Structure 1
Amino acid sequence: MAELPQKGEANLNDEARLRYSVSLVKQAGVQFYTLTMPSEVLARTCKVSTRNEDPAQGFQRELDSKRAREIADYIDSGQGTIPSSVVLSAQPEADLKIVGRGKTLEFNDAKGAFLILDGQHRVYGFSKAKTSLRVPVVVYNGLSRKEETRLFIDINTKQKPVPSQLLLDIKNLADLETDVEQTLRDIFDLFSNRRKSVLKGRMSPADSAKNKINRVTFNQSVKPLLSLFSDREPSEIFDVLNSFLIAMDEETQKKTDEPVLTKPVVFRAYLGFFKPVAQRTVDRFGQVYTPANFAEIVSPVFQNLRASKLTSPGTSPTSLRDYLTDRLSSKLSL
């Protein structure tokens, strides 16, 4: 069992006992206790059990010190609150007792008194933070290792994480967007709403949907291109990228009726292919970024191209991008 790094450990003897007011909760024939504990108490009395440390009995992932440091900084910023409960299983070292007519939980102030079932990085973060705070806690008592493991599995499979695309979609409501994220949001919204957008009706802002581009895929694809546009406004960036994608989509439709443009691998590969195409477009037509001008550059790339390269592109946008770039070079004529 791995002990969490200790913070502010007092000179306590092995007989030291701590007491906290609790509420008893019963669910589906199982009971547990809810309470709050000081973060420093959690830091010095909790442990984790990892698969690497104990292949036979361990069931948790390794602690990530970077993630814990981020939690500690969030707490120490003075603006951070962590209302979700840490879930613990009392171990023999705790010698846990319920006293005071069932209203008080008493346990040894000892290392390894509790095994963390959920919240190991929060507790690790508490150990790194300078700030003390009261933390909601759920405590199970008398669980076997099998029961602890099953509870760990339930907690980590029944609780569905918030999709990344939803977090991106609501960041502006929390006033947390960076300038780059705001620019990407504006461009995404233009692709979603402009009548002339090649992606109108094919964008999904808050979740993943078949044959639609979500914010995560869009941001991954467009962010590397922003440096090419200097101080251009989002509407200008949209006009250029939309013209390019119209040309790519029209050439694609000559090969297949499948909506491959909205395949994440294809979409990311196409936008990865934008830079060399844009350079040749500028060389031939100047800064006149029309679908027709882009088509002049990309149409040779699609000549004799197997449709399967687009309908079954594999999992690597980079491989498809490089394939298109190689074809562009091989079609060069002077």
Structure 2
Amino acid sequence: MKYEAFVFKQRGNASPSLALFYAPATEILEWAAIDRLAPKEKGGVQRIENKARTKHLAEFFRRHEQNVIPTSVIVSLEGVVVSEENGKTVINFDVANDAAKKPGLVIDGQHRLLGMSQLDEPVLVPVVALLNVDDGEKAFQFIVINNKGQKVPTDHIRALRLDFKEDSLNERLKSARLSVKDTYTSVGVANDSPESPFRGIVDWAKTPKEDRRVSAAAIEQSVHLLMNAGDRLLADQDAAEDFFFSLWRLTKEVWPRAWEVDSPYDDDVETHLLNKSSIIALTDLIKDYLVKWASFPKASILLDEPETYQEHMKELLDLIAEDFWLVAWRLASLDTAAGRRAITEGLEQVIQNRRAELPWNDKVSLIDTTWLKRVKYRTLQED
């Protein structure tokens, strides 16, 4: 098979070669497999064909002669030779008679191909092909393209007969905030990403016991509540994670003592900032302020662009006295809805006090006033 093509590397020598060309849908299906699953299998990255979707795509073309779909189908192609003929770049590859040995594999766009192939006329399809890549690269592209909408289990990748080293693939996918493992969610990003202030201190199996300080559930619940905040920009998981990490990087900058284990005022009192309920309550509070802020007419805040809201986020944190997290609290068990509400109410009262230039702990019912008197808190502040 031969096609004129534009062949290039998107980034440099380390990146795979890409070819841009077009071909009839029926012809592409002659050399590109939709999947390599046994007939009895129901899964797969491309998954079983949705007959209704294929039908609707075909009907879309039949409704009007001007209807087109300019989106490219993405495939991988093996055994490709790139050459120059009459001043034009062409790609050549052999097509075996054995359908199980097709040189191409459809990574994205199976329903478009199947729908277009049902028409009586030849429908030309734009194609982006990854040339002569190994199975690890194919697996990576399958996951990156398909994982955002629906998770791609490892077994489905393996069912495509792709031979890859899972550990090596997962290391590469971490930079894309994806994985072939369902367990690598926002918690995995928080524990492994250089962007995360919680790197190496998340309480889960990968972290040494002595370093486990931050609840995995606190991270999951915080990102989930951000994605359900009602702002369309935060609904994207990457944007929600960026917001979460931006906030907690700032807390480390603004409240460095609160990130320590013990209170500087009393060795018998632990700081509260990195407790599960505190993380969720503070994230929720700051989210509420900034979502409302972003909704104002002519607001310059875009919640998928950290540089537009970080200054406002820091202003809010500056209103909250660091000592709120360092002094003793009256309630010991706060891992409940009522406990988080008590923390939120305490934070809101502190903000009101600071704005009114009152003592930060005025009318903050969560604070243990007996402890304050016992440790002579006022004197400690002055020192």
Q: TM-score, normalised by structure 1?
A: 0.38
Q: Which has the higher contact order (CA 8 A, sep 6+)?
A: 1
